[in-house]
Structures are given as C-alpha cells and as structure tokens.
Amino acid sequence: MTDEVVVETGARLHFGLLAHSPQISRQFGGAGVMVSGIGYRLRGTVAEADEVIGDEIAADRVRRFVGAYRESIPNGKQPPPCRINLEQVIPPHAGLGSGTQLGLATARVLAALSGESATPAIPLAERVGRGLRSGLGIHGFERGGFLIDGGKRSKDAVAPLVGHAEFPSDWRFVLVTPKEFSGLSGSAELKAFAEMAPMPTGMTDTLCRILLLQMMPAVIEADFDACSAAIYDFGRMVGEYFAPTQGGVFASPAMQQLAPVICERGYTGIGQTSWGPTLFVLCRDQPHADMLCGELRTNPNCQNSDIRCVKPMNHGATIK
C-alpha cells in the first residue's frame, strides 16, 4: 500500500486500421507508435473522499473512469478514497489516444493505491471500459515503441499485440493540431463506422503487405527513407477509405492543403493519426524537426494550430 502515486503516460499516434469488413475474421487492427512529451501526468493521493482536480474536461472523464473502476471491483478489494490531480493533459479528440491513456492512468493510480501496482494493462483497461476498437493504446501504455495490433476477433476482446519494436530514438515527429477542429469520437465515431462501406479485402491485403514487408522492417533497420515512404503509402490508402466520412484524406481542410506543401519540402512520412485532426510528420532528427517547426509557424494553414516536436517513447507509462 502507498499514500501517493504519480503516473506519467505518452500519447499514441495511430497510422491507420487494417480491416473493417464482415468478410474478415478480425476487425480494425492497425499500427502506430507511442510518443513522449505530450502525455498525461496524474498524481493520486489517499484522501477522505474521491476528488478530481484539474482540466475540467479531463477531470469529468476521470470521475467516470473512477466510477467504472469501483463498479468492477468487489467491495472487499476497493481502493481507498483518493484525490487525483491532473498535472498535465493530452488535448482531447485530436487523434492522440487521450481517452485510453487517461483511462489506464486513472486505473493505474487506483490499483497502486490499493497495492496492485503490477496489474497488467489489459485488466486495467477492462476495469475502465477501454479497448473497444484499437488495442494500440493499451499495449502502448504498457510497452511503448512501435506496435502492430492484430484486430479484434470478438466485440469484448482486447486486440492482441502481434508486432512490437523499438522506434529509432533519433527520429522525431512534428505534430500539427488545428485548435478549432475535433476528430470523431464517442457516438459520432460509432455512427461513422456503422455507416461506412466495408473495406475491400484487397485493400486489407495491400495494407498488411505495406506494414509487414515495408514499414516494420524499416523501423527495425532504422531505414528512415523506407519508413517514411511506407507511412505515407499506408496513411494515404487508409485516408482515401475514410475520405467519404471525414471529408478528405485528411479530416481538416487546412491539413489537406498543408500536406503537399510539406511533401515538397522533402518530408514524406506524413499522415493523420486516427480520426485526426492532428497531422504528423516523421523527421530524421531534432535539427530537421526544429527547422520544419520554424517553417510551419509561418505557414497560413498553421496559424490556428498547435505545433509540437515529440520523441518516440520506447517504454511504457511510468509510475512513481
């Protein structure tokens, strides 16, 4: 047992899914990477009653996660009442996996305060109801790095991790997040998936080939050019599939105009994470990332956007 715990997470970039069709035995799947410098930091302290302090949108979600966690635990094993302070948050509905990271961080705080700090991520996710589609954020919370999600066989299962590798530590991602545009989430996301046409099996086959024979080997061999090309091809194909639902290959019109400008500058590892609107750009190293950030801050399409440079995160969330 402990009286105080601090949990720090990364954020998740989702390069795109692999399958959405009744003809495929596993649904969704996909690939992505965990990044640092834009995660959550939660401080939990034993208190007289449950209390959440901090960003109100995130705090409201934490209250719901605490309620779900307590409902999932027998009365005899309940964690003590606690105060959770949100010291750092991930922007919500930006494609950065904020819901899963926040749910797991909350669950980790409660588990640690009740002497279960070693509980694996999947049981924690089940206690707070995460992992309905992608398993990348769950596995990324536990392990970090580059991840491949094998898809869900059943509605209630957490998709298995079928591929994992350290992402080259010298590489960087530049993130551009429009401030007044949100990606789909919640009921709107469910409605979108229900109304979308099935993904052709030939597209799934091609995406699997890009992922297995191009992207993952390039990550393992630290082949920057090959990885950039694979990320672009993968993201472009997934974006074209989602275009009828989100209005284009990129959800944000500003990001749609920005992407070819970045490509012309020689940065080809471009994509949208999840439903967006965040656009990510893979950069060879910190100097290239800094140079790109400087150029983007003067670009008209970025005038109302947050621009960040983040590092790959090759370890799971930390607990102190």
Contacts with 128 (C-beta within 8 Å, 6 or more apart), sequence order: 65, 68, 69, 72, 103, 104, 106, 107
Strand partners, 307: 176
pLDDT of residue 68: 96
The whole-number pLDDT of residue 183 equals 81
**5 in Cβ contact with 43 (< 8 Å):** yes
pLDDT digits (tens, 9 = 90+) for 260-287: 999 999 999 999 999 999 999 999 999 9
Low-confidence ranges of the chain (pLDDT < 50): none
- Residue labelled with tokens 């930390």: 318
Residues contacting residue 208 through CB under 8 Å, at least 6 positions apart: 18
> Which residue, among 111, 148, 123, has the nearest Cα to 34 in the 3D structure?
148
pLDDT of residue 195: 86
Q: What percent of the chain has pLDDT above 90?
A: 85
pLDDT for 277: 97
What's the pTM?
A: 0.95
Q: What's the pLDDT tens digit per position in 73-82? A: 987 789 999 9
